[in-house]
Chain A
Amino acid sequence: MNIAVSIFLAAGLVFALAGTVGLLRMPDVFCRLQSSTNLATLGVLGVIVAAVIYTAFGLRDWAMTVKLIVLGLFYLITNPIASHALAKGAYARGARPFTGIDHLQDDLISEEPSENEEESHAG
C-alpha cells in the first residue's frame, strides 16, 4: 500500500512541477492557463488518489475517504469553469494570442460593418 501511495504522490508532484514550470515559462496568458490546467488536473488528482488509498486501506476511515472523493469531483467540475471564465475575461480585456492565430478576432471584425467585409468569410 505504501508503494502505491508513494507512486501516486510522486506522479502528482511531477505534474504539479510541470504545471508550475509551464506557468512561469509560457509566453502569453492563454498558454499559461493551459499549463495551470496541467497542475489542476493530474497534479491534484494524483495527490487525492494517494490520499484516498491511504485513508481507505491505511487509516480505514471511510468518512474521510468519501470526503476526499467528493473533493476530487468538485475539483473536476469547478476547474474548467474557472479556466473558461479567466480566458474569456482576459480576451474581453484585450489579451490576444501572441502568434496572431485568432479566428475569434477575425469573426468579430467580419461582424462589424467595415470595408473588409467581403474577404473575411466566417465558416
Chain B
Amino acid sequence: MKKLSFPAFLFTFLLLLLFWMLLTGQIADIFRGGFSWQILAAGILVCGAAALFCGRFFAHEELRLLLQPKRLGALLVYCLAVFPWELIRFNVDMAVRAFSPGLPKKSGIVKIPTALTSEYALSMLANSITLTPGTLTVDIVTEDGKNYFYIHWIDVASDDPEEAAQAIKGRLEKWIGRIWS
C-alpha cells in the first residue's frame, strides 16, 4: 500500500474541510454572524479522519502539474466548454435513440487504445466516456505498457480499433492530454 505523504494529507484535508464548510452553510454564516466553532471543530475531526484514510489514494505527485497556469486553463476549458458540449451532443443522440421505434442492433463491447499514461488522465477519460450516454467503460487493462479501454458502445460503427477510438474519444483525449501529460 502506498504511504501517506503529508502534502497529500493536507491537500485532501483542506479540500474536504472546504466542502464541509460549504455543505453546513458556515461560509455564509461568517458574513451573517452566527458562525459556530462547534461545527468547525466537528468538521476538522471528521475531515482529518477521512483524509487519513483516503489521502493516499486521492492526491498524487502529479497533482502539482495543475499549478501551471496553462494546464489549469486547459482543465477549466475542458470542464466548462469541451465536456459539456460533448455531453449535450451525446445526450440528444441517446434521447432520440430511446424514442425511435427501432432498437439498437449493433451494440457491443469494443477495445480501444489510448495514448494517456497518468492515472489521473486515465480515470478522467474513463469517467468522461462513461458520463457521455452511448458509451460506457467496462474495463481498463494495461498490455505491454500501453493502456486499453473496453467500452460498451450502443452503436458500433466500426470494428477497427483506431476508428472506433476516434469516434468514442474524439476531442476528449486531446484535451485531457493537454492537462496531464
B-binding residues in A (CB < 8 A)? 14-15, 18-19, 21-22, 25-28, 30-31, 33-35, 37-38, 41-42, 62-63, 66-67, 70, 76-77, 79-81, 83-84, 87-88, 91, 97-105, 107, 122-123
Contact = CB atoms under 8 A, between A and B. Distances in A.
A74 B105 CA distance: 34
Q: Which 5 A-B pairs have the closest CB atoms?
A: A101-B108, A22-B98, A18-B95, A80-B130, A103-B111
A41 B131 contact: yes
B137 A84 contact: yes
A26 B103 contact: yes
A31 B19 CA distance: 35
Interface in B94-134: 94-95, 97-99, 103-111, 126-128, 130-134
A87 B138 contact: yes
A41 B87 contact: yes
A26 B134 CA distance: 12
26 contacts: A19-B98, A21-B98, A22-B98, A25-B98, A25-B103, A26-B98, A27-B104, A31-B103, A38-B91, A38-B95, A38-B98, A41-B87, A41-B91, A42-B87, A70-B19, A80-B131, A84-B126, A84-B138, A88-B139, A91-B138, A97-B109, A97-B152, A100-B108, A103-B108, A103-B109, A107-B111
Given A18-B99, A22-B98, A104-B150, A81 B111 contact: no
A79 B131 contact: yes
B133 A67 contact: no
Contacts of B27: 66
Interface of B: 19, 22-23, 25, 27-28, 87-88, 91, 94-95, 97-99, 103-111, 126-128, 130-139, 143, 150, 152, 154, 156, 161
A63 B32 CA distance: 11
B133 A34 contact: yes
B111 A30 contact: no
A100 B22 CA distance: 48
B23 A67 contact: yes
A22 B94 contact: yes
B135 to A, nearest CB: 8
Contacts of B111: 103-104, 107, 122
Given A18-B99, A101-B110, 15 more contacts: A26-B98, A30-B109, A34-B134, A34-B135, A41-B133, A67-B22, A70-B22, A80-B130, A84-B138, A97-B109, A99-B106, A99-B107, A102-B109, A103-B108, A105-B109
Contacts of A76: 131
A122 B146 CA distance: 13
B130 A84 contact: yes
Contacts of B133: 34-35, 37-38, 41
A34 B131 contact: no
Q: Give the residue among B95, B128, B134 with the most A Cβ atoms within 10 A.
A: B95
